[in-house]
Each structure stands twice: as structure tokens, then as C-alpha cells.
Structure 1
């Protein structure tokens, strides 16, 4: 059977990593994983759902025996390994670059429309 204190310590560490690496907020692990959505791969979302279900079962003495300790450990390890590979600074830089690329594209479209309008009016 899983030690509840050890599970809670790993859960808190995972919640901290989700906040630091992905910027996810929420009071519980389930809230943070729900907010993660497509930021996590499909397999890791399933592992997260298993952890949330295991947490719910561990709160009840009879249901706690149904939780597989090995699978819980693998779920924690796989999510933590994925989060370790994420660089928050690189994510911020990527978002800024995508935002600037969209802005430049819109300005090019605006310039093209202005040039077409000026050509149509005979100014150019």
C-alpha cells in the first residue's frame, strides 16, 4: 500500500513543477492538470488522470488498497521527466516570436492594402 505522506510530498512537488514550468495555477493537482490541457501529451494527461483518481482513492481506507503503487510511481516519473525537459524561458521567447511574427504579417497585409488603394486612386 502507498504511504500517504510520500504520495502527498510527490504530489506537491509535481504541483510546484507544473506552476514553474507551465505557469499553471490551481488549488489542487486535478485543477492544474485540467488547466494543462494540450500543454501535456495525451499519454501524460492519462497518467495525470490516474494520479488524481489515486489521490481520491487514497483518502478512503478501503479504496486505498486498489491503488497500484508501481503505476503511481511510473506516472509521477513520466510527468516529472517531461516537465524537466521544458525550458520556461524558451517558451516565453517562442510566444514572443510568434506574437511578433503575427504583428509583422498583419502590418504587411495593411501595407499591401494601402498600396492597392493608392494605386486604385491613381496616386501611385
Structure 2
């Protein structure tokens, strides 16, 4: 099978071709090489995502699927769909026909958003925020109870 010149059909394809290091937006590669390149990019992105799971979220046990399920609890709702898309692409990664269905541009954007969020995630700051919100709730409840007790004492004429 000889090499066939594949011209990008959209801006997303042109961006993907530029990301793969191809010049002028035109790709000269046969279909087998193209799917191998996409698979290589996906496996590298998945390794970076696994590293972020381990470093930022302290998820080191289990496979990628179980880590992703535990990471889903930390992610905002808008990124949970991105994680689902990445998991679906990972499942069909080895099959060249099914891997074309996933959509490289959408998958690349999903991976980018996940990496950006997890890269800026700070567990210590989240922990401090949780502790401060619990303390604020306790203090607010104490002030409300104190005000209620004072109101009852005033109403009964003890103060």
C-alpha cells in the first residue's frame, strides 16, 4: 500500500496535522501509520493523565479505569463528560476502525481540559477550604443558637 496524500478537511484536522509535526497542513501517510500515530499520541496522553492522577490526586492503586472512577468524584461536572470520552477512546484504542470514530479533535480538547484542570489542582488548598467551610458552619450555628437563646431570655424577661 503506497502513501496517499490526505488533505485536512477542517481546522481541527489542520490543527491535528500541525500537532503531529506535519508541514503545510497536508499529511502524507498511509492509513496504518496514521492510526499508529494517533494511538501513540493517545497512549502518551493517557500516561500523562495517569501521572497527574498519581501526583495531584494520590490515586496510585488499581488500573486506569478504577483510578478514573475515583477521580470522577473530584472533577467538576463539565469535566466528567470529558473523562467519559477519554475512557471510551481508551477502550477502542487498539482497534483501528473503532479508534477513528472517537474524533481526534474532540478527544484532544477533552484531554487538554483534563490535563489543565488536574495540573492546577491543589489538594492542600482543597483540604484547607473544606476545614474552613466546616469551621464557618460551626461558628454560624453557634451564633444562631446564641442569638436564639438571647431572644428567649429577653422574651421571658430574664435579661
> Who is 2:129 aligned against?
94
Partner residue of 1:77 out of 112, 124, 137: 112
Cα 1:56–1:7 shift into 2, 3 Å: same
Deviation at 1:13, TM superposition (A): 3.4
Deviation at 1:108, TM superposition (A): 0.3
Q: Give the number of the structure whose alpha-carbon radius of gyration is greater.
A: 2
What per-residue deviation string (whole Å, max 9, x for no partner) do you get for residues 59-113 of structure 1? 5454234344454333222211122122222212211111111111000011112
Using the size of structure 2 for normalisation, the TM-score is: 0.58
> Who is 1:3 aligned against?
39
Q: Unpaired segments of 5 or more residues in structure 2? A: 1-34
Greater relative contact order: 1 or 2 (C-alpha under 8 angstroms, separation 6 or more)?
1
Partner residue of 2:143 out of 97, 108, 114: 108
* 1:13-28 aligned within 5 A: 13-18=48-53, 20-22=55-57, 27=63, 28=65
Aligned mates of 2:123, 2:155 — CA distance in 1: 48
Partner residue of 2:73 out of 35, 43, 49: 35
Q: Structure 1 or 2: larger helix share?
A: 1
Using the size of structure 1 for normalisation, the TM-score is: 0.70
Residue correspondences, number: 120
Is the 2:57–2:71 Cα contact (8 Å) retained in structure 1? no
Aligned mates of 1:41, 1:21 — CA distance in 2: 18
> Who is 2:86 aligned against?
51
Is the 1:33–1:48 Cα contact (8 Å) retained in structure 2? no
Q: RMSD across aligned C-alpha pairs, in angstroms?
A: 3.0
Give secondary structure in 2 for the equivalent of 1:13.
helix
